[in-house]
């Protein structure tokens, strides 16, 4: 029998908010009804990680949005995305470093719009997943996020069918290239303009194990997204 995967919802506040409004948002989250079977993780702006950890209810985990591949050195430590030209290899090195330091990792993969239009989504996400997998020994500390870049901050969302198709193929890749146990137990969550209006149908897909939420995580509707499986 396949392991039961808890529902997982991460909120990435990105470079948004100041202490006052984030404090109000934290109060809303602390007071929210959160299903016992749902894992909730908040990723505040880097400057507010300690503030968020002090204020959030202990049942809500806190994450950094990014890291570099080494422990220390003469590196500025920007919060980066593909627009900064990061290679798949560098992402793999970051995953390796974070896991070696005892952290869990939410690793994001996804195609750009021109890649989807060229029908190479599968090729792109498999290549990205392989570089991550090559750097993972303990899959219990890894969450894979399918985050199509054409749906980040655009208001566009993959249809539930599009999301399920990619998630199912990713789980198949893990079965073929890692093992069946990892394929069945690893969270594969969706990110890309998830909202209170779209979350329930997305959450109903068999291989969508949760969400990584951007803009909507700054709004009261985030509580509805946390409860999408209810």
- pLDDT tens string 142-188: 999 999 999 988 888 899 999 999 999 999 999 999 999 999 999 99
Q: Give the pLDDT of the chain (230 residues) as one tens digit per residue.
A: 345 799 999 999 999 999 999 999 999 999 999 998 899 999 999 999 999 999 999 999 999 999 989 988 888 766 666 677 889 999 999 999 999 999 999 999 999 999 999 999 999 999 999 999 999 999 999 999 999 999 988 888 899 999 999 999 999 999 999 999 999 999 999 999 899 999 999 999 999 999 999 999 999 899 999 999 98
pTM: 0.93
What dotted CATH number matches 7-66+79-226?
3.20.20.70
- CA 176, 98, 4, 33 torsion-angle sign: negative
Q: Distance between CA 138 and CA 82 in Å, rounded?
A: 26
Q: Distance between CA 40 and CA 29 in Å, rounded?
A: 10
pLDDT tens per residue across span 20-36: 999 999 999 999 999 98
**Active-site residue set:** 147
User: Structural domain boundaries of the chain?
Assistant: 7-66+79-226
Q: Which two tokens stand for residue 84?
A: 């900064």
């Amino acid at each position: 029998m396949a392991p039961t995967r808890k529902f997982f919802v991460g909120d990435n506040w990105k470079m948004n908010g100041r202490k006052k409004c984030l404090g109000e948002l934290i109060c809303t989250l602390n007071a929210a009804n959160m299903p016992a079977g749902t894992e909730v993780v908040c990723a505040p702006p880097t400057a507010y990680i300690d503030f968020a950890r002090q204020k959030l209810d202990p049942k809500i985990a806190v994450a950094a949005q990014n890291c570099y591949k080494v422990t220390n050195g003469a590196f500025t430590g920007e919060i980066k995305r593909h627009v900064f030209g990061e290679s798949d290899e560098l992402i793999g090195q970051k995953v390796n470093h974070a896991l070696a330091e005892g952290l869990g990792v939410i690793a994001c993969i996804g195609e750009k719009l021109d890649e989807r239009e060229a029908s190479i989504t599968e090729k792109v996400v498999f290549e990205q997943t392989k570089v991550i997998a090559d750097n993972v020994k303990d899959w219990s500390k890894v969450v894979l996020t399918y985050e199509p870049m054409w749906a980040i901050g655009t208001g566009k969302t993959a249809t539930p069918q599009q999301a399920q198709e990619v998630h199912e193929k990713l789980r198949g890749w893990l079965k073929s290239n890692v093992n069946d146990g990892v394929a069945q137990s690893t969270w594969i969550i969706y990110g890309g303009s998830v909202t209170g209006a779209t979350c329930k149908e997305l959450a109903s897909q068999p291989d969508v194990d949760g969400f990584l939420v951007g803009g909507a995580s700054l709004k009261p509707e985030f509580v509805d997204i946390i409860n999408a499986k209810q």
